[in-house]
Chains A and B, each alone.
Chain A
């Protein structure tokens, strides 16, 4: 299972790539594997505000509906429109073409509560035991 070292993670299986005030968010390889074939992604509006640990969107596989939780608070500055026609990219490229939203952080302290790759890997191992 791929857990890139340069990303931060949430307990709800989102990853976040932070670059200054901006951050890109998606779901992890572990999450997409657990969900199965993703057939629909509900994206937030560009310009909308999201709050740390609150749902901001939905991913649906054939069998399940799963909320997406914001790793940080802030304003949505971009969404991956490509997922409207190619939701399967969340499965095939979870850390690349399957990204979901870009958020402009409103509070950089939010980062402190995120998991690093090692802590996230440990959590996933516990969940599969």
Chain B
């Protein structure tokens, strides 16, 4: 309950609203962000059963435009952007030559020579420098637009009906991992059908200056849907239930993305990209370990770095762990050697002095409700 020195922290354009809504502000990745409003459990349930709104303006945005934009991004990322069409978004990794992960991100294509990337808050500046360094003299303009862009996430089954009240374009026509440039309540926005919760929903990018009036307009329109503001606490429990990787926990510059189960965004046979040689080698060698879900079979809350055991002997440590509000049980993610990776394998999580029984689960921990075509 100590008071952190908040003077050096960055704030989003929505800081005043967070205070007004009595959000509990904490330092996160260099930002002062609301960890909760009414409470993590209630907010989590609100997104799973209705609709919630998140301020995720701490996330970074990088815009790349020019004749070489496509080639540059194709060289930087592991997924294949060649087959993307306009108004499409793609989840991908950006790797080092040694195969370690620089960041995980979303690539959005406006047109063949114009893209924007949504990157993690803690990596935004690093990513920008990495991109500049690898761009060399290529013919593309690269801009870190993070400070002038705000991002809101509206997530939950009522998100479409809610946003539709403020928007003329038929939102039902925006497919999963697609976006459109449209006005919401007269504010120019990029509306993407993406998210980090496992629910249907949207991520909306607007000019920082429009964020507060837009947030208020959405809150107002959301009353009939019982819309609530959601903090980073529930953002984490929601992503955990989906088994989504979090940069800094499951993946980092030392991790092997193939072992994290991210092979589906690593297109080894595409044109040359940074990390390709090493990742091909790792693929050929096979996984030394594998990221699995772990579900507690008894009471307790698993936390990052807790040891995972097999019959009392250490076999790994949790990269993430939390209490699942939906399952009412502890869940976590952990790298284990392939012999322990089979779903149903009985393990234990060491919580203080107790070895709590657990079993291996293939994530997601719950079925997802995203709007796939």
With contact pairs A36-B233, A62-B237 given, residues A42 and B352 touching in the complex (Cβ less than 8 Å): yes
Name the residue of chain A whose CB is nearest to the CB of B322.
A62
A 113-128 to B, binary, CB cutoff 8 A, 1 in contact else 0: 0000000000000010
Decide: B352 and A62 in contact? CB cutoff 8 A: no
With contact pairs A34-B1, A62-B233 given, residues A39 and B36 touching in the complex (Cβ less than 8 Å): no
Query: CA–CA, A112 to B301, complex, Å?
Result: 36
What A residues does B334 contact at CB under 8 A? Answer: none
A38 to chain B, nearest CB (A): 10
Decide: A40 and B40 in contact? CB cutoff 8 A: no
Decide: A39 and B301 in contact? CB cutoff 8 A: yes
Interface residue? A51 (CB, 8 A): no
Interface residues of A in 58-79 (CB under 8 A from B): 58, 60-63, 65
Name the residue of chain B whose CB is nearest to the CB of A30.
B1
How many A-B pairs with Cβ below 8 Å? 41
Partner of A37, one of B24, B39, B352: B39
Interface residue? B303 (CB, 8 A): yes
Interface residue? B143 (CB, 8 A): no
Q: Which of B1, B40, B303, B322 lies at the interface centre, i.e. has the most chain A CB atoms within 10 A of its CB?
A: B1
Q: Is chain A's binding surface mostly helix, strand, loop or mixed?
A: mixed
Tally chain A residues at the interface, Cβ within 8 Å.
16
Interface residue? A93 (CB, 8 A): no
Query: CA–CA, A129 to B237, complex, Å?
Result: 30
Decide: A40 and B233 in contact? CB cutoff 8 A: no
Name the residue of chain A whose CB is nearest to the CB of B2.
A127
Decide: B301 and A40 in contact? CB cutoff 8 A: yes
Decide: A36 and B1 in contact? CB cutoff 8 A: no
Decide: B1 and A127 in contact? CB cutoff 8 A: yes
What A residues does B41 contact at CB under 8 A? Answer: 37, 39, 62, 88
Decide: A36 and B39 in contact? CB cutoff 8 A: yes
Name the residue of chain B whose CB is nearest to the CB of A12.
B1
What B residues does A37 contact at CB under 8 A? Answer: 39-42
Interface residue? B94 (CB, 8 A): no
With contact pairs A62-B41, A65-B303 given, residues A36 and B323 touching in the complex (Cβ less than 8 Å): no
Residues of A within 8 A of B (CB): 34, 36-37, 39-40, 42, 58, 60-63, 65, 84, 88, 127, 129
9 CB-based A-B contacts, threshold 8 Å? A34-B1, A37-B41, A37-B42, A39-B41, A39-B301, A62-B301, A62-B322, A63-B40, A84-B299
